[in-house]
Homo-oligomer: A and B are copies of this chain.
């Protein structure tokens, strides 16, 4: 458990110094204690572990609020994996819903792009018609 300054921890965890301070303010990580000798705080050990956890959970699509919850679960005594599986399922469904919404948008855009002559006056433009609610359906 080497001790790390905030900028070293930031490099290790792949984020910026200001981001770490931001996570402190949000309560995702505790402000690590200053060493007995005073001076710079130690962002190694558990703090670095939490920063990496946050970074890993973000990659799976979890928000900071959700990550705060995951961190509580992870560090609870007698923690089991039911809760993690449940959170993952909820997140999967959330992402699935977002994909569906975006896919609908994409297919509408695809149809409009195909229907649009691509030149000439706006009166013939399917895209403008769609925006203005003049459905050509």
Residues of A in contact with B (beta carbons under 8 Å apart): 49, 52-53, 56-57, 59-61, 70, 74, 79-82, 84-85, 87-89, 91-92, 95-96, 98-99, 102-103, 105-106, 108-110, 112-113, 116-122, 124-125, 127-128, 130-133
Contact = CB atoms under 8 A, between A and B. Distances in A.
A113 B88 contact: yes
Chain A interface SS verdict (over half): helix
Contacts of A91: 109
B132 A56 contact: yes
Nearest to A121: B80
Query: In the complex this chain forms, how many copies of it are found?
Result: 2
A81 B120 contact: yes
A99 B88 contact: no
